[in-house]
Structure 1
Amino acid sequence: MYFIQHIESITHQDSFQKENIWDHLKPLSAENELISPDYKNYIPVAALRRLSTILRMGITASKVCQEKVSREFDAISVGTALGCLTDTEKFLVTINTVSGDILSPTAFIQSTHNTISGQISLDLKNHAYNMTHTQNALSFEVALKDGLLCIDEGKNSVLVGATDEAIPFLERLRGSLIETEKPFTSGATFMVLSGEKGNSIAGIQACEVNFSSENPETQLAEFLAANNCSLEKIDLVLEAGTAFKSLAKNHYSFTDYSGFYQSASSFAIHMANDWLLKNAKEQRVLIVNNLESNKLGLTLIYRNDVEA
């Protein structure tokens, strides 16, 4: 098992540095806004001015995670589906409107997907393994699997996270490239994973991704069987939709609380961890990321004193 030593989220919920986010969770409406911490407490003012929302969220959540554990990270794995949209839009608009002049490279440099993990590394002065994963709605799960492999290789403190941001342009893609009725939101969730139990409440037993999912019910049953589990033993299912609601003892659609951003399943990990913290008799949580059709991410969370 891979133990969650600490986890932080900056979302449209009041989730940042809360002892248990379930005490503050409320279903989102279209009017909800990102609840941001005072970034000046974590990022120098001079640097803050040039950082977009997604970079501010990622750096701040990562810094708090580092403060909460004694070891420096010996690996950083970040998932993001769309990357730094604000800077990407700024760069493209500049290309389209400016002619005859040399373009400033700043917006381009900050528009690349790996800017997030790179900035985290720079701010933490961390020179360890650093990787960005971009696989649409499964970006977080792939980053998570990378982090678990790092622990298997002997690394002791691994930062795994995911973040995406919403910009107004996304509304123009609703119903065509992006099929959702949920409000577009921004969010960042970062966690510290270790092979040592420490003071953790929960651990990740397994994570699996399928980029061409034709029979999710069968794939879910096979995933649980491979981990000596079944739906009857699952205390809570956190799902992007409602496909497995009738089979679950307790069921929440995590997008009701995260809104729509493609790496929102990372926030479901935070929900799962704090569910086990809040409910002492509950033992297992299943996260089903079926945010996009034909793609399936499955993550199994156990209380840290439960035998798999």
Structure 2
Amino acid sequence: MRKLFIIDSSTVCPLKDQELDNWLSGKPYSISPPEVKMPVIDRINLRRLSTGAKIALYCLHECCKSIDKQRVSSIIMASGLGALVDTQTFLTSISRSNNSLISPTPFIQGGHNTISGIVAQWLQNDGYNMTHLQQGLSFEFALIDASISLNTDDEIALVGSVDEDIPILSEIAKKYGWSEKMAGQITFHASAYALTPSASVNNNVRIDDVDVYQNMPVEQAIELFLIRNGCSTSVLSQIIIRNPLKRNLSISGMEIDPVVGLSFSSGALGLHFAHRYHKIFPKSRVLNVNLDVDGVGLILTSSHGF
């Protein structure tokens, strides 16, 4: 795939950036509930959106502060299960309607492209717009899509990820093989990234490769992926792992699940963690391993010049 550089990243999760830096550096850190922040765009039309949608828009808005908005050529979102809050509201209103008229708002906002569509309207952007929903591997597919969609070096792709937390989600998670204890750790996550094919002084963290492997042992997938990129686990500076099903692995690294909780989008947080790691440790190389029920997503990043 085409290499991409991270201009900026933004997340909402239990580890604020300073605490995240401490965790990555092996220093004492503290965890706090994710801070719910609202975007400062189009407040009138956003007031009816779910909290999760607003948080995702906040992350995307933060990324846009450091870029030339006219350079944005694609807006791509990833979500494990889509707009759950509005979908549940719409289905509940149908079941209770008694054949009477119901509000169309939850149906409209329950569409998978709601967030990317709002960002496109805000930016007055008529470029490529897509949302990927492949459970826990959605973000990797979104990154691959972003790499394909960028045609020139001066273009920028906005890539975001979000999953909401509703009470019924714990029951859904159990159907995907999550234990009752794991289902109780489900929370919401959102993240956003501004990506470009060209390097600069301000964006020296590079996404070297992204891929998804299915129907293959994890260790074999990692070996093939690293060989393709001319390296091995011995030269990696760090491995960041999302492993909600607690699979036994022959590799070791920093597992993010205990510190950020569980969601189908928590793998996307791993890229933000890698981004911060490269800023702390220049000339480093990091592998993100995102283990999901249906396969494994792999992201290789490095500091420019590694």
Q: What TM-score bracket applies, with the shorter chain setting the length?
A: 0.7 to 0.9
Deviates further, 168-177 or 142-151 = 168-177
8 Å Cα contact 2:239/2:288 also seen in 1: yes
Return the offset for 1:178. Answer: 4.8
Distance 1:11 1:178, change over 3 A: farther
User: In the aligned structure 2, how far is the partner of 1:139 from the partner of 1:301?
Assistant: 18
**Conservation of the 8 A alpha-carbon contact between 1:161 and 1:189:** yes
User: For the residues of structure 2 that align with 1:83 and 1:27, how far apart are their CA atoms?
Assistant: 30
Match of 2:157 in 1: 158
Residues of 2 paired with 1:14 and 1:55: CA distance? 20
In the TM superposition, 1:228-307 aligns within 5 A as: 228-241=230-243, 247-248=251-252, 251-280=253-282, 283-290=284-291, 292-306=292-306
* Structure 2 residue 9 is the aligned partner of structure 1 residue 11: no
- Of residues 205, 224, 228, the one that matches 1:226 is 228
1:128 positional shift: 1.4
Aligned residue runs from structure 1 range 160-239, under 5 A: 160-180=159-179, 181-182=181-182, 183-198=185-200, 199-210=202-213, 212-239=214-241
Over the matched positions of the two proteins, sequence identity in percent amounts to 27
Per-residue CA distance 1:252-289 (angstroms, 9 max, x = gap): 11222321111211110000010111123x51100011
- Where in structure 2 are the equivalents of 1:22-37 lying within 5 Å? 22-23=21-22, 33-37=33-37
Shift, 1:14, TM fit: 2.4
- Any idea what the Cα deviations from partners look like across 1:190-228, whole Å, max 9, x if unmatched? 111111112113110000012x33312111101100010
Distance 1:128 1:138 in 2: 24
**Is the Cα–Cα contact under 8 Å of residues 27 and 256 in structure 1 kept in the other structure?**
no
Amino acid at match of 1:276: H
What 5-or-longer segments of structure 1 have no aligned partner?
none
Distance 1:228 1:152 in 2: 25
Distance 1:149 1:304 in 2: 21
State the one-letter code of the partner of 2:163.
D
The 3-state SS of whatever aligns with 2:125 is: coil
- Cα 1:89–1:114 shift into 2, 3 Å: same
- Tell me: CA distance 1:34–1:293, structure 2 relative to 1, closer, same or farther (3 Å): same
Q: Distance in 2 between matches of 1:56 and 1:235?
A: 35
Counterparts of 1:131 and 1:155, CA distance in 2 = 20
The answer as to 2:51 corresponding to 1:53 is yes
- Name 2:140's counterpart in structure 1: 141
Over aligned residues, Cα RMSD in angstroms?
Answer: 2.2
- Please name the residue that 2:63 is paired with: 65
Distance 2:139 2:30 in 1: 22
TM-score between the two structures when normalised by the length of structure 1: 0.87
Structure-2-length-normalised TM-score = 0.88
Cα distance between partner residues in 2 of 1:296 and 1:264: 13
- Residue type of the alignment partner of 1:79: A
Unaligned runs of 5+ in 2: none
Distance 2:109 2:266 in 1: 22
Q: Separation in 1 of the partners of 2:206 and 2:115?
A: 25
Give 3-state SS (helix, strand or coil) of 1:63's partner: helix
Tell me the distance in 2 between the aligned counterparts of 1:120 and 1:200: 23
Quote the offset at 1:171 in angstroms: 2.3
Map 1:69-88 onto structure 2 (within 5 A). 69-72=67-70, 73-88=72-87
Secondary structure in structure 2 of the residue aligned to 1:74? strand
1:69–1:185 Cα change, 3 Å: same
Counterparts of 2:158 and 2:260, CA distance in 1: 21
Figure out how many residues of one structure are paired with residues of the other and give that number. Answer: 293
Q: How many Å apart are 1:124 and its aligned residue? A: 2.4
> What's the offset of the Cα at 1:154?
5.5
Amino acid at match of 2:251: L
Aligned-residue offset at 1:23? 3.9
